[in-house]
Amino acid sequence: MTNTIKNKILFQLNFLKSIGYEYHESIKAFDKDLEQYNLPDDFFNLESMVKNCYLCELSKSRKNPLFSYGNQNAQIMFIFDEPSTSEDELNSFYVGKAGEQLSRMIENVLPLKKEDIYITSLVKCKSLDGFNTSHFNSCSSYLYKQIDLLNPKLIVTLGEKTYEYLCKDKTPFNQIRGKLMSFKNYDVLPTYSASFLLRNPSFKKEAFHDMLKIKSILESN
């Protein structure tokens, strides 16, 4: 049985579950035994699974699933919510106005190039009208495995939705933005997304201070 057929079967099972069918007791996300059994322990094969994934309805509307970009030995991991329209069409990160804005945020402040950072998203496919909890639940195991494989010194979440979904924390964003939070045993720093800053340039000063804090953390022992 090919991976494509397997993933189509999983997609159908996921659909049946969404309309009320149950197969077993719920399994908590981030279950180490389940993760290690189902998902490969290397980026290459994990990416191959993502590119052939049909677990949720986003697979119907996407043009290109985006897995990651950057250094697979990076100390820092950037996570945003979902691929942009430009990224979906061009099958590449850091494209479009938001991608250019994020590149400037990184390379103008951090002692790094964008290629030195590992970047990915909560869900790997572009939605038509915004992803929801069901989409994230279908895709989250891929993200959790990426975090485990990278084992970063710091995770930077870009945008309110990204932090809320990853850390399952609905604390008002203005209370936690720029502060060092935690997810499992990882340090997490929430900051504004590039797309938000394009719409609200008055917040760029706060984002700049967040980037300075990120720089300080990376330079510390």
- Residues 112 and 38: their CA atoms lie apart, in Å, by 34
pLDDT (mean) for 27-50: 69
Q: Model's pTM, two decimal places?
A: 0.82
The token duo for 59 is: 């697979």
Q: Which of 139, 123, 140, 214 is CA-nearest to residue 184?
A: 140
- Quick one: DSSP state of residue 137? H
In three-state secondary structure terms, 78 is strand
Are 9 and 15 in contact by the 8 Å Cβ rule? The answer is: no
d(CA 137, CA 168) in angstroms, rounded, equals 12
| Rounded CA separation 34/24 (Å) | 14
Domain ranges of the chain: 3-219
Portion of the chain with pLDDT greater than 70, in percent: 83
> Which tens digit of pLDDT belongs to each residue from 39-85?
899 999 999 999 999 888 898 889 999 999 999 999 999 999 999 99
Question: 94 with 66: CB under 8 angstroms?
Answer: no
When mean pLDDT is compared across 34-38, 59-63, 84-88, 200-204, the lowest value belongs to: 34-38
User: Mapped to the 3 state alphabet, what secondary structure does 141-198 carry?
Assistant: HHHHHHHHHHCCCEEEEECHHHHHHHHCCCCCHHHHCCCCEEECCEEEEEECCHHHHH
β-strand 76-80 against 154-158: which pairing, if any? parallel
**pLDDT score at 61:** 84
pLDDT of 28 higher than 80: no
What pLDDT does 114 receive?
Answer: 93
Residue 29 has pLDDT above 60, yes or no: no
Residue 197 has pLDDT above 90, yes or no: yes
131-185, pLDDT tens digit by residue? 899 999 999 999 999 999 999 999 999 999 999 999 999 999 999 999 999 999 9
CA dihedral 51, 55, 56, 58 (to 10 degrees): 10
Q: Which amino acid is at 93?
A: F
Domain at 3-219, CATH from 3.50.50.60, 3.40.470.10, 3.40.50.150, 3.75.10.10: 3.40.470.10
Whole-angstrom distance, CA of residue 40 vs CA of residue 167: 24
Express as a percent the part of the chain with pLDDT over 90. 71
